[in-house]
A = this chain, B = another copy of it.
Amino acid sequence: MKLSEREIVGSDFRYPIELHEDFVGLSEKLKNLKKVSQVFVFTNREIAGIYEKYITKELKNSNIPFHFIYLKAGEKNKHIDRMKKVYHQLIQAEADRNAVIIAFGGGVVGDFTGFVAATYQRGVRFVQVPTTLLASVDSSVGGKVAVNVDSGKNMVGAFYQPEFVFAPLFTLSTLPKKEWSCGIAEVVKHSFLDGGTFLETLSKSKRSDFSEKSDIVRYAIEESVRVKSQIVSQDEKESGLRAVLNLGHTTGHAIESLTSYKKYSHGEAVSVGLVTALLLSKEILGFSESNFQKAISMMNQLELPTVLEEKPELVLQHMEHDKKKDGNTLKYVLLEDFGKPKFGVPVERKMILDILKRHKGMKLHG
């Protein structure tokens, strides 16, 4: 059953993000696309193990020939080296320009599959069927697709929009705890950028409210998609405003990199990074103490990590490694208030170090 729908509109595209209970209705959507020759479902074995039979049952209703192409799970397999094999599989199956590729999985599947779709025969249509909260609220909006190369993550990619996003919420029932945190952290980030009712509603919820059937999850996805799409539609190619979506990411990336991408999921690292950004916002832009307390209390209720456990000096080093040096400062996304982000705020290294030290020393659990 379709639960809700929002249209994403850009200068040269327009597509719906639909939340559904399960896969029912996907075939109808595919049949509404013009002249589809074949459908290719890109997924990984873990997801296929649980859901292949269900999506297969639905796809049979479309009467369009379909195939599964299995990717290896995990960020390290979102790699340019993995592309050749997949292109070869498409060619072997005689996929032509009227083929449609479905990205069925989380962000890794979505990024990789989207880039294959963007480049196979100079671009074939693709569809996102996200199975994680993060993919539903984040990679489903904005059209960023990419793969990694040895010398950098997401260094090779494109801006490429799907025909539609079809989020089957029942797949969240098998989402591991760490993946829930990852998605909730992005939701919280979006609520900080937006302020207003979204933030208020979220601040009254607690972690145990989040499940595949809860109203708050549906609401959180709908609102996150709204916030992100408003930002992205003003800056499709990421030349300015879109930078605000990196709130929490400067520290987040540094602690991810510092811990070799093992200790934290991306969302968990961003969660810790949000706290550093709020501390800097208090110091530099007059973000209020009461708002800061509200944010921490909300993150605690949602069981997101807030404490900085890494050495401040090392965190700063990894930031500098990550960022282009611009004299003695690094550029941050900060908040004047909830709903009032500023990007490109220069912050001196000394102040960053002081704030990181303060962050590390804080007793943040309620």
Contact = CB atoms under 8 A, between A and B. Distances in A.
B96 A324 contact: yes
A11 interface: yes
B159 A121 contact: no
A88 interface: yes
Given A11-B12, A88-B150, A149-B87, A155 B120 contact: yes
Contact of A87 (B12, B119, B156): B156
A120 to B, nearest CB: 6
A77 to B, nearest CB: 16
Nearest to A89: B151
Interface string A55-94: 0000000000000000000000000110110011001101
Given A158-B118, A158-B123, A159-B123, A152 B91 contact: yes
A122 interface: yes
A238 B144 CA distance: 23
Interface residues of A, number: 32
A146 interface: yes
Contacts of A158: 118-119, 122-123, 158
A157 interface: yes
A224 to B, nearest CB: 22
A88 B122 contact: no
B119 A88 contact: no
Contacts of A94: 324
Given A155-B120, A157-B119, A158-B118, A149 B96 contact: no
Nearest to A95: B155
Interface string A145-167: 01001111001111100000000
Nearest to A156: B119
A151 B121 contact: no
B122 A159 contact: yes
A50 to B, nearest CB: 32
Nearest to A115: B119
B157 A122 contact: yes
Contacts of A84: 80-81, 149-150
B120 A156 contact: yes
A149 B119 CA distance: 12
Nearest to A157: B122
Contacts of A118: 158
Contacts of A12: 11-12
A153 to B, nearest CB: 11
A88 B149 contact: yes
Contact of A149 (B91, B123, B157, B324): B91
A214 B16 CA distance: 55
A114 to B, nearest CB: 11
Residue among A92, A119, A122, A149 having the largest count of chain B Cβ atoms under 10 Å:
A122
Closest 4 CB pairs of A and B: A91-B151, A122-B157, A119-B156, A87-B149
21 contacts: A11-B12, A80-B84, A80-B87, A81-B84, A83-B156, A87-B149, A87-B155, A87-B156, A88-B151, A96-B324, A118-B158, A119-B119, A119-B156, A119-B157, A120-B155, A121-B155, A121-B156, A122-B144, A122-B159, A123-B158, A123-B159
Given A121-B155, A122-B238, 12 more contacts: A12-B12, A80-B87, A81-B84, A83-B156, A87-B156, A118-B158, A119-B156, A120-B156, A121-B156, A121-B157, A122-B146, A123-B158
